[in-house]
Amino acid sequence: MGEFDAIRPFSDAEVPQVLERLSGDKELTGMLAQWRFPRAFRWAPRLTSRLVQFGLQREARGIDCVASLQHRLEPYLDRIIESSTLEVTYSGLENLSKDVPHLFLANHRDIVMDPAFINYALYHTGHPTPRIAIGDNLLQRPFVSDLMRLNKSFIVHRSVTGRREKLAAYQSLSAYINHSIQTGHSVWIAQSEGRAKDGLDETDSAIIKMLCMSRRSEPFEEVIRSLNIVPVAIAYEWDPCDMMKARELEQRERTGTYTKQPGEDDSSIAKGLTGYKGRVHVAFGQPLTDSYPDARAVARETDRSILTSYRLYASNYLAFEKLPDVPDLIMKDWRQELTPDQLAREQERFDQRFAQCPVEYRAWWLAQYANPVISQLRQLAFLEATADHAE
């Protein structure tokens, strides 16, 4: 068994065997049959599942490596993005070299679509797609694990509980990420554990420390520089899972805990994939090549890049203005960027979505969209104050 076999993505040599296993997975074929042919599945579930199995086997022909699999999946991803978004824009791609691996350290909104949008941008501009960090809490079904590991995902063992087990898991994760970068493979990982359900994007310095765990004998500055960290800010005009997140946050505040229902992660993935997102912007920052004294300094610089490049939409500004207590922050007149007709449409769309939210969840729903405004304004104010002090 190889050093990283427990967490790594599947290799090219393993692809045909895994695809064969997936095409025979009854749970997967049944789920796809029910989703793709709901009427036929109700009347003849076994026959419909069998037809889906034949379809999967046909699609798998000629796929003998990860690159050919991603090439086959690309039209499907394009259709998902085109059907669930109004517009997808990118900035900062000129900061990236096609010949150098990067560690994409990103804010996190959606389980699947965050790395999918980054893959989409990189694939269509001729950059290699990254390996993707994904928590083991999302891989409880064997076919889900197979699908994710086929598409360059590697496993982050979040479910381990013992102190020694956690230390060993993080050490292995750190070694694998460094090995990936050193062997020419880019990596995507979220800036903190789990999605920022409240819209507050903040880099956890523990993530930075984990990245360096396997190279403690080397100078911290050199390890960080060798990872070629690129902060990435992803912004959705509308979050398909906003209501689910608001419900969870309200319950946590009210009871102190939240227990996921069976299948809740699957529902989040499905909504994130197919739900309407409006406009989406992905901003790639400058690689972190300066000297940083410690993990907190790297986290602060990552936050500065993400918060200042985050694309704010009318949905964010309208939520900010609807807060019961609006923070005293200097904000530009964003309405000047819109025509009266555009502003009226944005207001109507916002009011419709807000009205659909149950009253008890509305404070948390608003916070998801308003907090990016607050974070960006505070970051800009801090940078301005720091610059004035330096002068």
User: Scanning the structure block, which residue is given the tokens 């010949």?
Assistant: 99
Topology (CATH) of 65-311: Glycerol-3-phosphate (1)-acyltransferase (3.40.1130)
DSSP string, 86-139: EEEEEE-GGG--TTS--EEEE----TTHHHHHHHHHHHHTTPPPPEEEEEGGG-
User: Scanning the structure block, which residue is given the tokens 């990936």?
Assistant: 180
- Dump pLDDT digits (tens) for 335-371: 999 999 999 999 999 999 999 999 999 999 999 999 9
User: Scanning the structure block, which residue is given the tokens 């398909």?
Assistant: 240
- What is the share, in percent, of the chain residues with pLDDT greater than 90? 76
Query: Domain boundaries in the chain?
Result: 1-64, 65-311, 312-391
Q: How many CB atoms lie within 10 A of CB 48?
A: 22
Q: What pTM did the predictor assign? A: 0.93
Q: How confident is the model at residue 138 (pLDDT cuts 50, 70, 90)?
A: confident
Look at residue 259 in the predicted model and tell me its pLDDT.
Answer: 87
pLDDT higher than threshold 80 for residue 114: yes
- Dump pLDDT digits (tens) for 43-74: 999 999 999 999 999 988 889 999 999 998 88
Mean pLDDT taken over the chain: 93
- Name the nearest CA neighbour of 54 among 72, 29, 75, 73: 29
Look at residue 158 in the predicted model and tell me its pLDDT.
Answer: 86
Q: How confident is the model at residue 390 (pLDDT cuts 50, 70, 90)?
A: low
Q: Specify the higher pLDDT residue, 365 or 77.
A: 365
- Name the nearest CA neighbour of 305 among 275, 283, 330: 283
Query: Across the strands, what pairs with 105?
Result: 189, 231
Look at residue 129 in the predicted model and tell me its pLDDT.
Answer: 94
Q: How many CB atoms lie within 10 A of CB 126?
A: 7
- Name the nearest CA neighbour of 310 among 362, 364, 374, 354: 374
Look at residue 1 in the predicted model and tell me its pLDDT.
Answer: 45
Q: What is the mean pLDDT of residues 129-142?
A: 89
- Name the nearest CA neighbour of 87 among 258, 362, 281, 269: 281
- Dump pLDDT digits (tens) for 285-317: 999 999 999 999 999 999 999 999 999 999 999
Q: Coil, helix or strand for 156?
A: strand
- Dump pLDDT digits (tens) for 156-213: 998 888 889 999 999 999 999 999 999 999 999 999 998 999 999 999 999 999 999 9
What is the Cβ-side half-sphere exposure of residue 336, based on CA atoms within 13 angstroms? Answer: 3
Q: Parallel, antiparallel, or unpaired for β 187-190 and 85-91?
A: unpaired
User: Scanning the structure block, which residue is given the tokens 């690159």?
Assistant: 67
- Name the nearest CA neighbour of 280 among 119, 127, 81, 38: 81
Q: Specify the higher pLDDT residue, 388 or 241.
A: 241
Look at residue 48 in the predicted model and tell me its pLDDT.
Answer: 93
Look at residue 391 in the predicted model and tell me its pLDDT.
Answer: 62
Q: What is the CA radius of gyration of the chain?
A: 22
